[in-house]
Amino acid sequence: MELSEVTISKAIIDDFSKTFLDYTEIDAGIVGAGPSGLVCAAYLARSGAKVAVFERKLSVGGGMWGGGMMYPRIVVQKEALRILDDFNIRYREYVPGYYLANSIEAVGKLAAAAVDSGAEIFNLMSVEDVMIRQDDTITGLVINWTAVEMAGLHVDPLSISSKVVIDATGHDADVCRIVQRKVSAERLNEGRGVVGEKSMWADVGEKVLLSTTKEVYPGLIVAGMAANAVSGGHRMGPIFGGMLLSGELAAKKAKEYLKL
């Protein structure tokens, strides 16, 4: 059989256009495909929610790929090992209480878990705004191709309706900053707005992450490093147990919000 370039092109355009169209109305829109976003996507999709992850970059995985200073290893604490087990990510005990995993294996398996659970990942798309309706609830995301953003092209975005939004954008807490800019700091994070992350302190940063992972505006849940950035928690470097647990907790809170 002679391969037809046009058939290859049709297959790609046809399938992606249909999927994209289908995902213009979703239950949960997760912004950022770092570790917290991928874990959140996997658990939320497992519970039957229609989940889309919008990722600005070509690759998923956020800051996990690079491990610590480009040494592709991550450290995970005991409390989060059950999540590594759940996604079949291998690890070994380094010294008591510190477990080592390969960051490349971890990203690959988290991404596979999210997709296998039924979440749809849209890479190369940036969230540049949100939709907020009468009762001040977030009702959707405004997206554009990252290439448009990078080239500074004057191209209008498209909008996605989403019953709940999860900001998993990492250190920038992009979605929360958008809400702060477009609404006001007083309405966000119990009147505190985006406080900004504190300097490196792994122990405290990791521990506080489960209290900073929460709904910070009606319809907006914050997860991962973005959660600490919003509430003034410490950064923690290449220890990832908190990111995984935060993603899991964000999924639980989103499920409650969606009444699933």
26 lines the binding site for ligand 48F (CB under 6 A):
no
Q: Which of residues 66-125 bind ligand 48F (CB under 6 A)?
A: none
Contacts of 119 (CB under 8 A, 6+ apart): 30, 41, 42, 44, 45, 51, 52, 53
Q: Which is nearer to ligand 48F, 33 or 208 (CB)?
A: 33
Q: Which of residues 227-256 bind ligand 48F (CB under 6 A)?
A: 235-237, 239-240, 243
CA atoms within 13 A on the CB side of 254: 37
Q: Which of 225, 230, 250, 251 lies at the binding interface for ligand 48F (CB under 6 A)?
A: 225
140 lines the binding site for ligand 48F (CB under 6 A):
no
Give the nearest distance from C-beta 135 to ligand 48F in angstroms.
24
Among the candidate windows 41-49, 105-113, 153-161, 166-174, which touches ligand 48F by CB under 6 A? 166-174
57 lines the binding site for ligand 48F (CB under 6 A):
yes
Q: Indicate the residue type of 79.
A: E
Q: Which of 140, 224, 233, 241 lies at the binding interface for ligand 48F (CB under 6 A)?
A: 224
Q: Which is nearer to ligand 48F, 11 or 153 (CB)?
A: 153
CB 31 within 8 A of CB 140: no
Report whether 154 belongs to an annotated binding site. yes
Residues that bind ligand 48F (CB under 6 A): 31-37, 54-57, 62-64, 126-127, 168-170, 172, 174, 224-226, 235-237, 239-240, 243
